[in-house]
Amino acid sequence: MNSKQRHGKHGKNERHGPFAHGRGRVLRMLPVLLVLPLTACDWFTDFKRTPMVATWESDSILKVRGAPQGSVPMTGTAVSSFQVSYTAMPATLDSVAALVSNPAPMTEESLLNGRKYFQVNCAVCHGNEGKGDGSATKLGMIPIPLTNESANGRSDGYLFAMMRNGRGAMPPYNRIEERDRWDVVNYVRALQGRATGVKFETGPLAMPGVTGDKLPGATRLGPNRWVPPVGSGAAMAAPVASTTDSTAAAPQGSR
């Protein structure tokens, strides 16, 4: 076989056809193509696999979104928004107060938890002892004492409603979970001299910047945390929580 026959009509090797370069590229890319499926890359972004909770699917700690405003948690709520609105009006507060009662006994644990929340949220205006002399009053905030006759005459439910809705110069403090709000109510009562036979302290628990047990604990009712239904196997198997634990409260009101 001569050279012309071996190399074909145009003198080129027959092994080098028009797809020779393409074949070589594929061979070079083959290791990459084999490894890609093992990586976290997703080539399909057509929303077919959007995270979601299907109908009747068991709940999960990996919720895809927070609970919509006004929704009722699985453990129930004292007063839902469809019962009484969140407007900061005296009549609205009276409506809330008429529907709730304080389920938290005035124990040392309750007062300690209430003190933690009071120092974080309330003392800046109301003062460490509830006398209305908080540091914000030096910057123009009007003094609002919690130990005067007017505050003493309010019911526990009204104080709870104040934290739920706010009123006047006070904004709502719904970031304090319901069970913990009752501990704050108990602490305010203690500042008013109603904690008979129960020890409690006032003022900051530590220097600024100190965390740990000097601050309120982590929430169990945050928007992305799952709470088992009361009485479910998961709830019964969980460790017994203290009386100040938000999830330990018995469901009340509407569900």
Q: What is the pLDDT of residues 169-216, one digit of tens each?
A: 999 998 898 889 999 999 999 999 999 899 999 999 999 999 999 999
Q: Is 103 helix (H, G, I), strand (E, B) or coil?
A: coil
Q: Which of 16-30, 47-61, 115-129 has the highest mean pLDDT?
A: 115-129
Which residues face 170 on adjacent strands? 167
The closest alpha carbon to 199, from 182, 215, 187, 211, belongs to 187
Look at the alpha carbons of 130, 131, 133, 136 in this order and tell me if their dihedral is positive or negative. Answer: positive
Q: Is the pTM of this model over 0.75?
A: no
**Based on the structure, what is the number of domains in the chain?**
1
115 lies in a domain?
yes
**What CATH number is attached to the domain comprising 114?**
1.10.760.10
Phi, psi torsion values for 73, nearest 5 degrees: -65, 165
178 lies in a domain?
yes
| Of residues 49 and 255, more confidently modeled | 49
64 lies in a domain?
no
Q: What percent of the chain has pLDDT over 90?
A: 49
Answer for the pair 105, 111: CB distance below 8 angstroms, yes or no: no
Look at the alpha carbons of 113, 176, 252, 233 in this order and tell me if their dihedral is positive or negative. Answer: negative
User: What would you report as the CA-atom Rg of the chain, rounded to the nearest whole angstrom?
Assistant: 32
Q: Which domain holds residue 132?
A: 90-218
44 lies in a domain?
no
Compute CA distances 92 → 35, 153, 157, 253, whole Å.
63, 18, 12, 17
| Averaged pLDDT, 51-65 | 57
